[in-house]
A = this chain, B = another copy of it.
Amino acid sequence: MKIGSVLRDGKVVLAIAVSEDEVIIPEARDDLPATMLDVIEQWPKAISALEASIGNAPRHKINDLHWVPPVPQPGKVVCIALNNSANKDRIMSGPSHPATFIKPSSSLVGHGQPLRLKSAYGRVHPEPELAVVIGRRASDVQREDALQHVFGYTIINDLTAPQMRGEDTFHYRAIHPAKGNSSEIEYVDSWVSYPGRYKGADTFGPIGPWIVTRDEIADPHNLAVRCVHQGRLVTEDNTANLTNKVADVIAFISSYQVLEPGDIVAMGTALKKAGSGGQAVQNVNLTALGGPIEVSISSIGTLSNPVEYR
Contact = CB atoms under 8 A, between A and B. Distances in A.
Nearest to A263: B106
A107 B282 CA distance: 33
A76 interface: yes
B75 A104 contact: yes
B176 A101 contact: no
B177 A285 contact: yes
A92 B91 CA distance: 24
Contacts of A105: 75-76
A99 B194 CA distance: 6
Task: Tell me the interface secondary structure of chain A in the complex.
Answer: mixed
A274 interface: no
A192 B82 CA distance: 10
B177 A91 contact: no
Contact of A257 (B73, B87, B106): B106
B162 A191 contact: no
A283 interface: yes
B283 A94 contact: no
Interface band, chain A: 35 or more
Interface string A7-40: 0000000000000000000000000000000000
Interface in A182-229: 182-185, 187, 190-197, 200-202
B121 A187 contact: no
B280 A91 contact: no
Interface in A168-183: 168-177, 182-183
Contacts of A285: 177, 182
Contacts of A62: none
B256 A194 contact: no
What is the total number of copies of this protein in its complex? 2
A279 interface: yes
A103 interface: yes
Contacts of A121: 256
B162 A279 contact: no
B92 A173 contact: yes
Nearest to A191: B191
Contacts of A162: 174, 176
A53 interface: no
Given A94-B170, A162-B176, A171-B92, A195 B197 contact: no
A95 interface: yes
Given A87-B172, A94-B171, A256 B197 contact: yes
A100 interface: yes
A102 B103 contact: yes
28 contacts: A75-B105, A76-B104, A81-B194, A82-B170, A82-B172, A91-B170, A91-B172, A93-B172, A94-B171, A94-B172, A100-B194, A100-B200, A102-B103, A102-B104, A102-B200, A106-B260, A120-B255, A121-B256, A123-B177, A139-B202, A162-B174, A165-B192, A166-B190, A169-B192, A175-B280, A184-B283, A191-B191, A201-B257
